[in-house]
Structure 1
Amino acid sequence: MFTNESSEQITNWYYSVAYGINISLGIPYGVSFDDEYLWDPGFGNFRMEQGNFVFYDDTSMPPNQAAVTYDISPGDQTGDRGDPGNITIQNSIDRRLYSPQLFTDNIVYVTPNKRGETMVYQGIFHRILNENPGAPDEEFWQPTNQDPTYVFTRMTTQQARMSWRDANTDGGTIDGNLYERVPSFNLGIGPYDIAPGDSVELIRIVALGEMDRNVSELGGLNATQNYLSQGLANLKANWQAALDIVDGFRRTGNWNEGISEFPPPTVGDAPFASNDDELQVDLYVDIELGMQGFELTWTAVPPNYQDPITGTNDFAGYKVYRSESRIEGPWIEAADLPRAEAAELTAGGKVTFRLPAEAGIPYRHWVTSYDLDGNESGFTAYTFHALAAKPAPSNDQSEVLVIPNPFRQVSGLSDPSEEKRISFLNIPGQCTIRIYTVAGDLVRTIEHNDGFGEEAWGSALHGDYLLTRFFQNVQPGVYIYHIESHVLGHEGESSIGKFIIIK
């Protein structure tokens, strides 16, 4: 809302917002000129002209350079569309798409201007001036240039309502050139004559969308060939949900009016919140059943909870997910805990649930609540660091294993943060592990005292996987381990073995 608080009329008033767009962030290799756009008239609003520009990552097309090609799948077929993490490194386990997201922005409602129009100016420019002096002048909006004519021309530019690819092949427009693949975007309104006390109102929606995160994290051709179409469908759904909220507000003045469904409460805070409402994950071993796994504790949905819309307690249960790759996923549903079963595991406002798991594989966990309509709570109750289940201890040291052995550059685990993990399995519950070179030099001493039957050489949490006692990277070669038990009745019992590290 822009209100003229002066005592004089404002004439020919314009407003715009402009900013740079960079879809590709944090990718493990360098790309540029790869942010593309499309025009889709299927995005609705409360003005005359319908439709939005949608920005997304595509292949890199630097001006005056040959197109970059890749030999590793999926890059050999779809280039760097979506920025797959593995297309520059053979046998990389980082297959996820780094840039599967889509972005759109528009003014969906605005007070009619002095000509009675609800028009919005939409312009796409090249966001970097100094690095690319060969771009057409009309494609630049240099923030330091304060010349009124220069600024006004760019505030009121109307982009051709077509995709980058269509504009690129259309000889009748300057739009669709390679420099727009490093874009900035402008939204503007005007002109207005605003009398003292009068206002200009606008409502703007910024929305994001993406394909199923589990699919984009798995990567491959299924992801690179479908992230645009599936992400666009998700983006449109998010846009429509936001539009419904705006519609409810415009009808009633209440921003909650357009919300048709509420998910149940979250079951914990995000990691590092430093309170007792975080998801707690501990290890357990059931020797009688021969099982091990994780004991998860989270905040229970209050028994007096009521859905804000229906006024009823429609809480239906909890879902437990786990990921052996990274926080972003893929997340696999590991357990569904209905409300009645959860009630038997609830005490003092906390739910405690045991989830069996294979030993030696680090997992992250995430817990949600869901209601009778299937709505799930947000992604807040999750663990930041991965944790591996451990087997029961063993006092028979003839069963000790080193996993993997030999260690060939990486551990073989799916989580990149665990790629240097080496574990000693079937060890006593309390023992000292000493690692030596074949020359007898002490490399590392590990004190194991948690009562379980597994211990790793370092951890991702402390960043000391395969580090020596002097915190140096271990060298390839043959190593000797010596394990000495401290278990009551087995004190002093020991074993010796060897393992190989290949880099």
Structure 2
Amino acid sequence: MQNFRHQTGDATGQIVVETIDPLAIKNDHTYQIGFEHEGRFDKTHTTSFTVVDITGGARDTVVARSQELNIDAVVFDGLKLSLLNDELIKPVLRGVHWSDTTRNLIQPVVWDVFTAPPFLSGKPYPANYAIEFGEMGVDSSAGINLFGLPPATKFPVNFRIRNVTENRYIKFNLFEFHRSAPNPEPAELRGRLDEADILTFFEPDENGNQVLTYGLSMSADSTAELPGPGDTLYLPVRKPFLSFDTFVFTARGPQEDVSKAQMSLDSIKVVPNPYVATAIWEPRNVFTSGRGTRSIHFIHLPRRCTIRIYNVRGELVDTIEHDSPITNGTADWDLLSRDRLDIAYGIYIYHVDAPGIGEKIGKFAIIK
């Protein structure tokens, strides 16, 4: 497997792809994993996933709407796919970071589902967020009043909050506090996210009503720098696989070690050599007349090669194209010419041509 990547979405679960049958792998085939989900807010959950072979622009479904969403594996094309789904939706404080990590910007001390006991408790929402800073008035604190919180008013601010997962902007309240409370916020800091401030986030329900979700509290460190235009604060949330999520990977079958294959060219042999009337692996002749099936084996072959067989006069007798998923492979020859006639007894020359690896010339005898 190579180039495994999270193509779209930002679910935090893990996907494990393992090889269980190297010979069944479709080399260089590309697969896409997609998901379906139901519910909103804390009721959001993954319902199924689908795997599609998208090689060459095709869309061939190899796993359809599987519900094996945790640990249990599905098997296809020599691969085993297991999911470790994050079912709990929860903000991740340790993952919060600024776009510019070289400056000492104010830091959040709380990034979690908002609660104000005993009256208020927000609902988790499965999305990542980004606070994007600009000029004053780029957005406004929404002024959404909730029982149990101080009165909220609408006023211009120097930032807006984007739901990154769904790529849209949300409503929010900014509660401004001075680090030396109960002193009021200085006029020059009005509408700017600074130390000791609190943000509450809202998401719309199916009827368009604004629902309280998360809360963000900033530190009271007066030595930290305040963000300005161009700064972005990223706020991650742990979440299950959603319909926004797609993963892509390319399957790789057993790979041939070229240097090793070159060294092993000398190991190529014909068995039996000489061929005397018969070989032990030939099936019993069930016919009342005729010789029946005959064959010799070319062994220790590289994965891909062309075997040309000549008589001692240099005439081409037959050609074998060998293409195997494994190294140290074997090719059979039925002792018939390319015209499908029985060959004569005698000495024959074989030439093995393995592109990118090398060549091997040898001989074998067919004895009556």
TM-score by length of 2: 0.24
Structure ranking higher on relative contact order (CA contacts 8 Å, 6+ apart): 2
The structure whose residues are more often strand, as a share, is 2
The structure whose residues are more often helix, as a share, is 1
